[in-house]
Structure 1
């Protein structure tokens, strides 16, 4: 009988290092020197230079001729645009987010959750309210922060030790204790949504619901952001119910259920 195991993937160091450089610069608030890149990734400077030159040639990086510092290049844009335009979740979510934003006056956000470290904004409908959360497509946040983070902790299936380790690194305006947070996570598992009232950002309420795959594990979340005075208890609960309906509607349409 043929061996049914998946073929072993062999490491390709140059590719791995190139991806590491791109990820490093995507997280850096300012352009980085070659020395800083090499030191951050524990690369030999000459190796880093060869990879950086190849990325420059493909317009995936750009360099300031004065400072000799590197940042992501415009060649990243068509790649990112293709991901967003061709992916199921953003295209399914856009009209739903617009509807939620219009109905409740909130900023509605579709988030991808690739791991316990980051969540990435992949769809967005902005509120017309005078006070809005500063967020854009591609924005990254710690995966366990705020209402979305409680959903991730509840439905990721990850070991509690890994979750606690990352929780200890989070920065909140009004941080809950870990024990209190774990009780909230347990509640999210029962009710299917989370509401953060001023823990993450003072005066701001964030409502989140998980989007689950066929195994019951979280792959995405839907979040809504508004002022605490705007999203009082009854309104935020109604919003959470509507968001949960959206999540349950789109989940079967995603390729993750194939």
Structure 2
């Protein structure tokens, strides 16, 4: 299996570059699919003999979930409707001080550059972020000193630099020895033939993928570590809503900001949250991505809140109730093991 780059005629900001996709390949055919807003697999281009509609795909296949879904880069599975402006802030943090304009401006620049995923000039960055050109230039020069961005002299453009990785890695660490559970994730993925993902809340309404394990099967779901999604999306969304102190009003606010792939009502969502709280696990049947089923269990801290959540990601064709029982049992065992690695 190999993921094909887009043809040179297709810009990086196109559907493939921003959406991720599915690569199906064998010796005679290579065809790239994108998961569109409606959850359908939309062919972008093919090399070699095309796949005949209605035929089974070649044996080596991989479904790639969206690489990142931020407020400005989220047109695939589920994206917040809100665009621009600062994210909802923690009430306690906001009550202790005021917003610092220079910091907000630097954050807006870094977020825009992360979403754009291509070299950018000062003028475009300033225009898209709504900042003064001189201010943008000075902030970029300051970020260069700390290796957060780098400057290309010939094209006069800026890109994110590797210096930002240290902060990202620290943010993805929960302070405990969570890396010790990776072998257990790998075993779970291989035994059940599913992709296993570990999610951590970040901020008030987002979560980040901090670890993933994939099966060795020829067809699998792939998700990139480091990608950010709306907190309430997927099976983990029910978990984080169920095992937290979020108010109903806050859950509703976040729920209504999401463009669901498989629509459901807020009442249905809250009923599923209540079920997750009672039974200790949650399911997403196509609301996150059509054709998939997600099963998730919480990793609880000492206060009974979901510090993390682990998810088994599978194709709908792999799912049956009896098999789900075995997967949930092993997810619950993994959650208990991972909880012991949380900081005291």
Q: What TM bracket, shorter-length normalisation?
A: 0.7 to 0.9
TM (norm. structure 2) is 0.64
Match of 1:179, SS state, is: helix
* 1:133-174 deviation digits (Å, cap 9, x = unpaired): 331110111111111111111122112222112212223332
Gaps of 5+ in 2: 1-95
Tell me the CA shift for residue 220 of structure 1: 1.1
Q: Which residue of 1 aligns with 2:218?
A: 130
Q: Structure 1 residues 33, 165: closer, same or farther in 2, change over 3 A?
A: farther
Shift of 1:105: 0.8
- Runs (4+) of structure 1 exceeding 6 A deviation are 8-11
Tell me the residue number matched to 2:188. Answer: 100
- Tell me if 1:23 matches 2:123: no
Unaligned 5+ segments in structure 1 are: 1-7
Structure 2 residue 290 is matched with structure 1 residue 207: no
Structure 2 partner of 1:5: none
For the 8 Å contact 1:173–1:198, the answer to whether it is kept is yes
| Cα distance change, pair 10–180 in 1 and its aligned pair in 2 (3 A) | closer
* Mapped partners of 1:31, 1:234: distance in 2: 50
The answer to whether the Cα contact below 8 Å between 2:285 and 2:293 also exists between their aligned partners in 1 is yes
Counterpart of 1:197 (choices 285, 292, 298) is: 285
* Secondary structure, counterpart of 2:237 in structure 1: helix
- Change over 3 Å in CA distance of 1:171–1:13 after alignment to 2: closer
Q: Which 10-residue stretch deviates more, 173-182 or 67-76?
A: 67-76
Could you say which residue in structure 2 is the equivalent of 1:179? 267
Which structure has greater helix proportion? 1
Aligned match of 1:4: none
Q: Does the C-alpha gap of structure 1 residues 27 and 209 become closer, same or farther in structure 2, counting only changes over 3 Å?
A: farther
Distance 1:160 1:36, change over 3 A: farther
RMSD, matched Cα:
2.6
My pick for the range that moved more, 191-200 or 38-47, is: 38-47
Aligned residues: 249
- Normalised by the length of structure 1, the TM-score is 0.84
Match of 1:254, SS state, is coil
